[in-house]
Amino acid sequence: MDGSPDTATADIEGYVPFPDDRIRRYVDEGHWRGLTFHAVVDRVADESPSRRAVIGPTRELSYGELAANSRRLAGAFRDELGLRTDDLVTLQLPNCVEFAEAFLACSRLGVVPALVLPRHREQELRHIVDLTESRAVVTVGDRYDLGFDYVDLVDGIVDDYDHLDARIAITADESEPPTGWHDLAAMRERGDETVGTDVNPCNPGLFMLSGGTSGLPKAIPRTHNDYVYLWEHIATEMGVDADWTLVAGLPVPHSFAFGYVFGAALWAGATVAVEPRLKPDPLIGLVDRVDGDVITLIPKQLIDFLEAGDDATLSTLRVVCSGGQKVPPDLVRRVADRWGAGFCNVFGMGEGAQVISRPDDPLEVQATTVGRPIGPGDELRILDEEGQPVPQGDLGELVVRGPGVFTGYLRNDAANEKSFDDEGWFYTGDVFSRRADGNHEVWGRLDDTINRAGETVYAPAIEDVLVEHPKITKAAVVGIPDETLGERIGAVVELRAGVDSLALSEVTAFFEDRGLAVFRRPERLLVVETLPETDVGKIDRNAAEGLFERTTAE
């Protein structure tokens, strides 16, 4: 499509498009460049085809190869599967080169993939296939050993959905695809390279899945334009250079690595490095092998990395991105000490809002705040319970709108009613404050607040203190219902290697030493081997709360 289209044309039932006046404004103000995902890659492929685009465990591709492979795969998707613009499909892939090929093939056809995470299982897959009425599922066969049979998972559900016509697997070089399946590599080899370019960047280019510690994921439609806006500004603000290699420490189908590694690299013509196993050893090995410049990790992984490597490990890193849940300030300082890399403290979500500290911000800003919004078009408000802006410094709910924020969950009127107002502002459910210097502090989700005898306590702030205790490595703080006080503070903790016990009295003494008010001290303590995790590996507070119900804590 020539020029920058200024209206959404997607014919997808239950999709909430960007309104025309906002599209026109974003195009006029230069926030939306009218680029599809594949156009971003083709720009680099046309100028520097031999530049390295993706390095995986067994294959690597230049930009020229990535462009050509995704074109042929798109041809095969169209000719062999009959996929067309506005068809929805499901991708459940680990971090691998084939993700980039399949994702871009969809983009070229205007087919919209829902990005299911590798950790999702039957319930989530069924829900997404059903919600999106997916026509095809792309998943991993025997090419990567992930200790789980994804083919079997899909085979177990396929007969229940009339719309699910095609199953496509990534198989090992010497293998045949499973019965009834298509082989992605074979399709990529034989597909017709001539696919049109008539894809409207104002339309959805993917569905990110909402995280969530309870209930099933919601599908978050994201347009090409709105994600490319984020890619551009993430790359710019992190200072990504075309010579850099960005390493995905998290699943690429999740918004963190999708924006801060995959997209930022493609925007800058840099290299994405991926490894399906997201454990410290293979990831550290990958960073060392490719001389990684950037990595994205959630705080839990950062802790593991600090414990696993010596000072020489990861010495090539220029930027470390962490977030997805609150990064304890002490952890940021330890990372800066160890690697001397710039730190991006990232507040982000699949719905779009991105607020980050920059790699060259003072350490104090990186450690204690999430900095400033990513792009020049972002609109942010911090509102009180009556919907009024709070005075600077006060706490309130973060409410966002802009060229990089979605416009409504797919086929979910109830959630949209609850989360959006009439002017298109999205109520995030996160508690924020803005400092006088313009940097933002995160306090947790509205429902992470503990109300103890009328005092509001923010769980992440208490976790920050707990992980500074010399015996504790990870912590989840939860409210425990209490007849007299309303709620009491419970702490579930993982101990550092070599430590085998911790008493509540030691925690109390530590909090007392730090001068924390009595109502902010944990009153119940549970020591666990491993804290429960969400599908993307974040510490799962809801599940931690459940542990208290099932166990006798101290």
- Candidate residues 92, 132, 245, 325; the one interacting with ligand AMP per rule CB under 6 A: 325
Nearer residue to ligand AMP within complex by CB, 68 or 543: 543
| Rounded-to-integer distance, Cα 295 and Cα 238, Å | 11
Nearer residue to ligand AMP within complex by CB, 101 or 535: 535
* Site residues (CB under 6 A) for ligand AMP, limited to 417-476: 428, 430, 442, 445
| Rounded-to-integer distance, Cα 299 and Cα 302, Å | 5
Placement of tokens 């504790």 in the chain:
472
Which DSSP symbol is given to 60?
A: E
326 binds ligand AMP (CB under 6 A): yes
Nearer residue to ligand AMP within complex by CB, 171 or 428: 428
- Candidate residues 347, 432, 458, 548; the one interacting with ligand AMP per rule CB under 6 A: 347
Pull the structure tokens for residue 408.
Answer: 């409504």
* Site residues (CB under 6 A) for ligand AMP, limited to 203-242: 211
End-to-end CA gap in the chain = 64
Q: How far is the CB of 536 from ligand AMP (least distance, A)?
A: 6
404 binds ligand AMP (CB under 6 A): no
Nearer residue to ligand AMP within complex by CB, 39 or 320: 320
Q: How far is the CB of 323 from ligand AMP (least distance, A)?
A: 3
Contact 168, 181 (CB under 8 A): yes
* DSSP helix/strand/coil, 187: helix
Q: How far is the CB of 235 from ligand AMP (least distance, A)?
A: 19
Pull the structure tokens for residue 248.
Answer: 């995905």
Burial class (CB in 10 A: 0-12, 13-18, 19+), 528: middle
At residue 49, what are phi and psi to the nearest 5 degrees?
Answer: -60, -25
Count of helices and strands (H, E) across the chain: 18, 25
Q: How far is the CB of 327 from ligand AMP (least distance, A)?
A: 6
Pairing status of strand 486-495 against strand 524-528? parallel
- Candidate residues 66, 137, 206, 370; the one interacting with ligand AMP per rule CB under 6 A: 370
Nearest alpha-carbon partner for 256 in 275, 236, 230: 230
Nearer residue to ligand AMP within complex by CB, 440 or 488: 440
Residues pairing with 169 in the sheet: 139, 183
Four-point Cα dihedral 536, 18, 37, 118, nearest 10: 20
User: Which of the ranges 305-313, 322-330, 358-366, 521-529 carries the binding residues for ligand AMP, by CB under 6 A?
Assistant: 322-330
Nearer residue to ligand AMP within complex by CB, 102 or 349: 349
User: Which of the ranges 6-14, 118-126, 280-288, 320-328 carries the binding residues for ligand AMP, by CB under 6 A?
Assistant: 320-328
Q: How far is the CB of 241 from ligand AMP (least distance, A)?
A: 25
Q: What is the length of the chain?
A: 554
Q: What count of other Cβ atoms lies within 10 Å of the Cβ of residue 315?
A: 15
Total of chain residues touching ligand AMP, rule CB under 6 A:
18
Nearer residue to ligand AMP within complex by CB, 85 or 428: 428
Q: How far is the CB of 177 from ligand AMP (least distance, A)?
A: 32
Contact 489, 507 (CB under 8 A): no
Q: How far is the CB of 213 from ligand AMP (least distance, A)?
A: 9
Mark 253-292 with x for binding to ligand AMP (rule: CB under 6 A) and - for no binding: --x-------------------------------------
User: Which of the ranges 67-75, 119-127, 149-157, 325-333 carries the binding residues for ligand AMP, by CB under 6 A?
Assistant: 325-333
Q: Give the CA angle between residues 434, 436, 441 to the nearest 5°.
A: 30
Pairing status of strand 379-383 against strand 372-373? unpaired
- Candidate residues 323, 352, 402, 537; the one interacting with ligand AMP per rule CB under 6 A: 323
| Rounded-to-integer distance, Cα 329 and Cα 364, Å | 8
294 binds ligand AMP (CB under 6 A): no
* Site residues (CB under 6 A) for ligand AMP, limited to 42-101: none
Nearer residue to ligand AMP within complex by CB, 254 or 452: 254
User: Which of the ranges 97-105, 304-312, 348-356, 402-410 carries the binding residues for ligand AMP, by CB under 6 A?
Assistant: 348-356
| Rounded-to-integer distance, Cα 181 and Cα 34, Å | 36
Nearer residue to ligand AMP within complex by CB, 37 or 426: 426
| Rounded-to-integer distance, Cα 328 and Cα 325, Å | 9
Nearer residue to ligand AMP within complex by CB, 370 or 491: 370
Helix axis angle for 299-308 and 329-339, nearest 10°, is 40
Give the footprint of ligand AMP on this chain (CB under 6 A): 211, 255, 323-327, 345-350, 370, 428, 430, 442, 445
